[in-house]
């Protein structure tokens, strides 16, 4: 709908308060208690919609698409046709192109309050938009399913042509509070015993590499800063998620713990991969309440299809056929430990 304006909506269940805008389905604020019951906002972001619209920051809090992450040289071939995408992060296409899903205004299809508040956003991506084939109907629903849990359900239906689809939620988390400095002291566990190594342009080579004995090994809990100096600017890598413990049909992807507040985030998903990113390119961005966000001031847990999967035959396919439904669910379970 053309008359939709970017607005900020609130989901509040008395314990958590989440603010989300229909501009890119972006989480702008996420307040939850620490071990003493003190609330803090644990996501990087801005007080109003303008900085998001102007892309002051790299994808803070948004849903990115039609295809998250990098597509090599902005090119792919599907069903015999060649497609060229905007090269918005030279030499590749990143997170859907110049005007990806993160910067379009979605329609608010449903907004419910009460003990399980939820909001559903809808977007119709037209054939040829940012170079992608076919019309795509997308919905995203955020629900506070319990006092300390939020669920995100992303769905997309290809209406008339096969198309790659891989959505990701790009929130930058800092469990100590968005304005508390870097996340190097927070500990992370990732249920991924392999990563997809990348070339000099941060595109996967196609190899699937065991993390054992490398600085990428988070199979047991360790501090983000423990070996970050061994991986260049920081972590920005796709983990191949293992099929381990499940909850509601979703696999355990990651666990983050903040020692100062005792806040814990357990993330569950049905996606095959997860980009673990440590805000390597965030540099002096002025955010909420004048907070200044520097390098490593947050971490992203972007569950996703593998980067550049459309050009890598050995990666799980991200192609959706006409009439098929793409389904991607994330469960953010918070606790105090």
Query: According to the annotation, is 70 in a ligand binding site?
Result: yes
* pLDDT in the model for residue 4: 80
Instruction: Enter the tokens of residue 286.
Output: 């002025």
114 conformational bin, left if phi > 0, alpha if psi -120 to 50, beta if neither: left
Does pLDDT of 231 surpass 90? yes
Q: Are strands 118-125 and 107-112 parallel, antiparallel or unpaired?
A: antiparallel
In the residue annotation, 170 being an active-site residue is answered as yes
Instruction: Enter the tokens of residue 116.
Output: 């399980």
pLDDT digits (tens, 9 = 90+) for 273-325: 999 999 999 999 999 999 999 999 999 999 999 999 999 999 999 999 999 99
CB 8, CB 20: distance < 8 Å: yes
Task: pLDDT band for 3, please (50, 70, 90 cuts).
Answer: low
DSSP-assigned beta bridge partners for residue 30: 18
Q: What is the rounded CA–CA span in Å between residue 31 and residue 76?
A: 41
Query: According to the annotation, is 69 in a ligand binding site?
Result: yes
Query: According to the annotation, is 328 in a ligand binding site?
Result: no
Does pLDDT of 1 surpass 60? no
Tell me the three-class secondary structure of 174-210, residue by residue.
Answer: CCCCCCCCCCCCCEEEECCCEECCECCCCCECCCCEE
Percent of the chain scoring above 70 in pLDDT: 99
Q: Count of CB atoms within 10 A of residue 186's CB?
A: 25
| Average confidence (pLDDT) over 171-179 | 98
Does pLDDT of 2 surpass 80? no
Averaged pLDDT of the chain: 97
Query: According to the annotation, is 172 in a ligand binding site?
Result: yes
Query: According to the annotation, is 3 in a ligand binding site?
Result: no
Q: What is the rounded CA–CA span in Å between residue 166 and residue 182?
A: 29
Query: According to the annotation, is 124 in a ligand binding site?
Result: no
In the residue annotation, 207 being an active-site residue is answered as no
The active-site residue, picked from 129, 130, 170, 237, is 170
Task: pLDDT band for 245, please (50, 70, 90 cuts).
Answer: confident
CB 261, CB 35: distance < 8 Å: yes
Does pLDDT of 177 surpass 60? yes
Q: Cα-atom radius of gyration of the chain, to the nearest Å?
A: 19
Contacts of 102 (CB under 8 A, 6+ apart): 24, 26, 52, 59, 62, 63, 64, 65, 95, 96, 170
CB 158, CB 324: distance < 8 Å: yes
pLDDT digits (tens, 9 = 90+) for 68-100: 999 999 999 999 999 999 999 999 999 999 999
């Amino acid at each position: 709908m053309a008359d939709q304006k970017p607005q900020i909506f609130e989901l509040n269940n008395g314990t958590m308060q989440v603010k989300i805008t229909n501009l890119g389905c972006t989480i702008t604020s996420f307040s939850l208690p620490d071990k003493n019951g003190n609330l803090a906002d644990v996501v990087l972001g801005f007080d109003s919609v303008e900085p998001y619209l102007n892309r002051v920051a790299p994808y803070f809090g948004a849903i990115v698409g039609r295809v998250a992450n990098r597509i090599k040289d902005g090119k792919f071939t599907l069903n015999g046709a060649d497609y060229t995408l905007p090269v918005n992060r030279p030499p590749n296409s990143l997170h859907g192109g110049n005007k990806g899903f993160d910067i379009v205004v979605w329609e608010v299809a449903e907004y419910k309050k009460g003990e399980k508040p939820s909001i559903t956003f809808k977007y119709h991506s037209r054939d040829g938009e940012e170079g992608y084939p076919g019309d795509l109907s997308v919905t995203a629903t955020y629900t506070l399913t319990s006092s300390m849990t939020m669920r995100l359900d992303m769905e997309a239906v290809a209406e008339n042509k096969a198309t790659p689809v891989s959505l990701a939620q790009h929130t930058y988390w800092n469990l100590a509070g968005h304005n508390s400095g870097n996340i190097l002291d927070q500990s992370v566990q990732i249920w991924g015993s392999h990563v997809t190594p990348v070339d000099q342009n941060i595109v996967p080579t196609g190899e699937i590499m065991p993390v054992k004995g490398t600085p990428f090994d988070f199979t047991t809990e360790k501090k983000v800063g423990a070996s970050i100096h061994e991986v260049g600017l920081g972590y920005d890598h796709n983990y191949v998620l293992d099929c381990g413990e499940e909850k509601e049909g979703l696999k355990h992807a990651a666990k983050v713990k903040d020692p100062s507040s005792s806040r814990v985030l357990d993330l569950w998903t049905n996606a095959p991969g997860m980009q673990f990113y440590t805000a390597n390119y965030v540099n002096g961005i002025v955010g909420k309440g004048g907070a200044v966000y520097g390098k490593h001031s947050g971490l992203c847990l972007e569950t996703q299809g593998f980067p550049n999967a459309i050009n890598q035959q050995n990666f799980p396919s991200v192609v959706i056929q006409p009439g098929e439904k793409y389904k991607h669910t994330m469960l953010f379970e918070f606790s105090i430990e």
